[in-house]
């Protein structure tokens, strides 16, 4: 590995010219991507149905192909799972990334082609490394190992050739041989799906490694940190891994977790956000100081942007890069080298820069609260939680919120279920600060809260530690990239979580905050 690391490092550093070339010509790069996709898939069943061989412009493509959600493509995907090929893509599909979303009890199976592995996921990982070295030329990142806190792996029983797992598991199973030399833990541990045991083995097997980088969802990374500190008796992670210099995160906003990481790590390291989903690797921070993540324009994914107010219309309209506006919410629509065509991924994004094109993930199309016209999105709630924690000294591990509807004797409000690592000394003060922060971040919320006319003060329920994990486990969604939905425009999640809490009440004598 000592001989290999300088070679990989040198190769990564030499790639920056190509990234800069694409940054200079993003719209042309996207046109070329779409042309390549349509040409490659023109003789597939989907390509024949929509006459790909006669589509020679972005407008023609958009006019011919409707926007799809998962249920629209599901019949095609099920046929591929059962062994048929040349359906959505022109090369064999033998791998599927199992969706980790919690919006439905049913799993989604996203097709992963060899092209999407090599030209999307692995190419983006190389670009992240290149951009990191460009900003940190003296880095010793590859002199140690990268700790990957990944998902699980299993085999689809429909067909011996069809394999599926969390995205991280699919990537681990297909990683080039040299990748296995610079990561930890060993594959058998990385792919364990029983997370209580997995954390123990992760801790025991990585304590003595020279870990220089970590990638994983913040919640499980914190659990691992705490367990390692318990086992070692050390006061922070830099005492365990003195050469740790980088944490790569994604999947959920890092805002509520930043202070916890700084405390547990015990010093300054670099933090980079990545937008890597089952459907593709879309963007990443090139520099921790960047406001937003750089969109990857030449990675086998053609992108369209749907203003969120178009969602639900019979003929929703999308725009291209040349028409996007800063700070506006868009739903991401993608066409990929895995056979997803004009696919509505479900995430909402906002542009933070147009030169170069940088974005941040603002939430989910179906993860919001708008029961009273307040249009609250996850970006608002994450920032408000962070502000309330900063001003009270509280530390939040996880949270979820939903509406409380009007009743005969009370108007509506929002109910927040929160697991605190460190609860505030005064819950009422925390609630007030949360409410004030939401007003400052969202004018629609502020208007609905005016004199309690439409919305009264939010209700915050502290939960015992572990309730969210028990809820995820009840849905077979514990671990990996699975995460608690931050916001919902209904009470289903709230009611399910509260039902689990009843089996382990916080305090039988505590007053009901909604009473």
Half-sphere exposure of 198 (CA within 13 A, CB side): 22
Average pLDDT over every residue of 150-172 = 71
Cα–Cα dist 50/64, whole Å: 6
Q: How confident is the model at residue 216 (pLDDT cuts 50, 70, 90)?
A: confident
Model confidence over 377-401: pLDDT tens digits? Answer: 888 999 999 999 999 999 999 999 9
- pLDDT at position 515: 44
Cα–Cα dist 470/497, whole Å: 9
Q: How confident is the model at residue 9 (pLDDT cuts 50, 70, 90)?
A: low
Model confidence over 475-497: pLDDT tens digits? Answer: 877 665 667 889 988 899 999 99
Two tokens at 138?
A: 């003296």
Identify whether 306 is preceded by a cis peptide bond (ω within 30 of 0). no
Model confidence over 78-108: pLDDT tens digits? Answer: 999 999 999 999 999 999 998 744 334 357 8
Average pLDDT over every residue of 165-190 = 79
Helices (H), 297-356: none
Q: What are the backbone dihedrals phi and psi of residue 74, each rounded to the nearest 5 degrees, phi first?
A: -55, -45
- Percent of the chain having pLDDT more than 90? 60
Cα–Cα dist 75/315, whole Å: 22
The mean pLDDT of the chain is 87
Q: What are the backbone dihedrals phi and psi of residue 411, each rounded to the nearest 5 degrees, phi first?
A: -85, -175
- pLDDT at position 513: 46
Report yes or no: 338 and 110 within 8 Å, Cβ to Cβ.
Answer: yes
- pLDDT at position 285: 94
Cα–Cα dist 233/87, whole Å: 55
State whether residue 234 is helix, strand or coil.
coil
Neighbours of 390 (CB within 10 A): 13
Model confidence over 250-288: pLDDT tens digits? Answer: 877 787 778 889 999 999 999 999 999 899 999 999 888
- pLDDT at position 505: 55
Two tokens at 203?
A: 């801790």
Q: How confident is the model at residue 178 (pLDDT cuts 50, 70, 90)?
A: low
* Owner of token pair 């599927």: 96
Closest CA to 403 of 415, 391, 411: 415
- pLDDT at position 418: 97
Q: Which helix (H) or strand (E) holds 275?
A: strand 270-277
Q: Which CATH class is domain 4-364?
A: alpha beta
Q: What are the backbone dihedrals phi and psi of residue 73, each rounded to the nearest 5 degrees, phi first?
A: -95, -10
Helices (H), 107-257: 114-115, 123-135, 167-174, 187-190, 195-206, 218-232, 237-240
Model confidence over 110-134: pLDDT tens digits? Answer: 999 999 999 999 999 999 999 999 9
């Amino acid at each position: 590995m000592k001989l290999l690391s300088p070679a990989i490092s040198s190769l990564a550093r030499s790639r920056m010219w190509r990234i800069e070339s694409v940054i200079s010509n993003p719209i042309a790069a996207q046109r070329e991507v779409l042309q390549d996709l349509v040409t490659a898939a023109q003789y597939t069943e989907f390509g024949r149905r929509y006459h790909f061989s006669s589509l020679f412009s972005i407008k023609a493509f958009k006019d011919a192909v409707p926007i799809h959600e998962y249920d629209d493509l599901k019949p095609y995907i099920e046929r591929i799972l059962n062994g048929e090929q040349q359906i959505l893509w022109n090369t064999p599909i033998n791998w599927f990334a199992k969706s980790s979303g919690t919006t439905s009890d049913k799993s989604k199976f996203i097709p992963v082609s060899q092209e999407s592995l090599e030209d999307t996921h692995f190419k983006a990982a190389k670009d992240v490394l290149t951009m990191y070295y460009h900003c940190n030329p003296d880095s010793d990142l590859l002199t140690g190992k990268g700790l990957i806190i990944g998902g699980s792996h299993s085999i689809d029983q429909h067909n011996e050739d069809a394999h599926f797992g969390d995205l991280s598991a699919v990537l681990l199973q297909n990683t080039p041989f040299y990748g296995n030399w610079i990561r930890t833990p060993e594959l058998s541990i990385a792919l364990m799906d029983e997370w209580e045991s997995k954390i123990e083995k992760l801790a025991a097997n990585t304590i003595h490694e020279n870990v220089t980088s970590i990638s994983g969802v913040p919640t499980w990374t914190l659990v691992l940190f705490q367990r390692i500190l318990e086992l070692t008796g050390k006061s922070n992670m830099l005492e365990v891994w003195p050469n740790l210099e980088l944490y790569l995160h994604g999947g959920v906003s890092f805002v509520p977790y930043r202070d916890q990481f700084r405390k547990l790590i015990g010093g300054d390291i670099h933090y980079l956000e990545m937008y890597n989903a089952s459907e593709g690797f879309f963007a990443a921070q090139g520099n921790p100081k960047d406001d937003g993540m750089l969109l990857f324009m030449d990675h086998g994914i053609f992108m369209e942007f749907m203003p969120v107010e178009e969602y639900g219309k019979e003929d929703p309209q999308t725009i291209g890069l040349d028409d996007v506006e800063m700070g506006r919410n868009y739903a991401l629509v993608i066409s990929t080298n895995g056979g997803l065509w004009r696919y509505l991924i479900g995430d909402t994004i906002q542009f933070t820069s147009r030169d170069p094109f940088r974005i941040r993930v603002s939430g989910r199309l179906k993860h919001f609260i708008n029961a009273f016209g307040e249009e609250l999105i996850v970006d608002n709630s994450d920032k408000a939680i962070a502000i309330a924690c900063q001003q009270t000294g509280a530390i939040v591990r996880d949270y979820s919120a939903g509406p409380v509807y009007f009743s005969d004797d009370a108007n509506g409000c929002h109910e927040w279920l929160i697991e605190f690592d460190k609860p505030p000394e005064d819950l009422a003060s925390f609630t007030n600060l949360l409410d004030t922060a939401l007003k400052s971040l969202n004018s629609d919320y502020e208007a609905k809260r005016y004199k309690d006319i439409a919305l009264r003060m939010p209700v915050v329920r502290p939960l015992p530690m572990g309730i969210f994990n028990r809820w995820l486990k009840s849905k077979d969604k514990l671990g990996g990239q699975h995460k608690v939905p931050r916001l919902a425009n209904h009470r289903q999640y709230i009611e399910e979580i509260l039902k689990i809490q009843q089996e382990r009440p916080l305090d039988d004598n505590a007053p009901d905050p909604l009473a």
